[in-house]
Amino acid sequence: MPDTLHQGEVDSKTDPSVAKQYDNETPKEQQMKQFFEMVDGKKVGMLNTYRNGVGPVGRSMAVAKRIGPDFLFLANKHSQKFVDLDQNKEVQITFQDSKTQDWISVSGTATTTDNSDPRIKDVWSQLTRAWFGDLGDGKHTGGPEDPRMTLIEIKSKYITYYLTDVGLLGFAKEVIGAAVTGGVANTGKLRELFEEDIEKARSMQ
């Protein structure tokens, strides 16, 4: 049911419509585990870089591999995203499930490699070739040895996600009920994982 607001809360410095969304009860280890489960079910997300004079710029990217709280992406070194990353290493990855209304946002720092990185062969697949093409020169084949084939590695610094715990009907009921009663829709859990939580998860890999 929608959470009821009280006059004392409305007058406080902490806005209840914000504060009541955050999950401060679930242990961080469980929050991290559920983050892994959620993100592993969402193979394609938006990789957002920051472009000088423009601001955030996003593009759809398939996750090549998740390593604990960190991510690898295969990318063409000639793409504009590498120019962005030369200027600013700060990035964001976002995922959303339109069916459940779950969403994930990961902020982190990117490093790039060249084609000599042995991990390319580990994460490359035949489907990757479709995004690079074979230029017919025996060199730019779209295979793992293609010099265009590079990795972007993102080390997470801050993770936030929303885990919906009601179905579609429950979601609608909460939203409508809150709109009618003046309460706050209670549809799920908003969680934050900070650097200390992320480093702990990384050390356990």
What is the tens place of the pLDDT at every residue in 63-120?
999 999 999 999 999 999 999 999 999 999 999 998 888 999 999 999 999 999 999 9
What is the residue-averaged pLDDT of the chain?
A: 86
Q: In the predicted model, is pLDDT for residue 3 greater than 60?
A: no
The per-residue pLDDT for 170 is 46
Cα(33)–Cα(27) distance, integer angstroms? 10
Q: In the predicted model, is pLDDT for residue 182 greater than 60?
A: no
Q: How far is CA 161 from the centre of its chain?
A: 8
Which CATH number, 3.40.50.920, 3.30.1360.120, 2.30.110.10, 1.10.150.120, labels domain 15-166+185-203?
2.30.110.10
Pairing of strands 70-76, 149-164: antiparallel
Pairing of strands 55-62, 65-67: unpaired
Burial of 63 (0-12, 13-18, 19+ CB in 10 A): buried
Average pLDDT for 129-154: 96
Is the model's pTM score more than 0.85?
no
Cα(97)–Cα(81) distance, integer angstroms? 25
Average pLDDT for 147-173: 82
Enumerate the domain spans of the chain: 15-166+185-203
Q: In the predicted model, is pLDDT for residue 176 greater than 50?
A: no
Average pLDDT for 170-195: 62
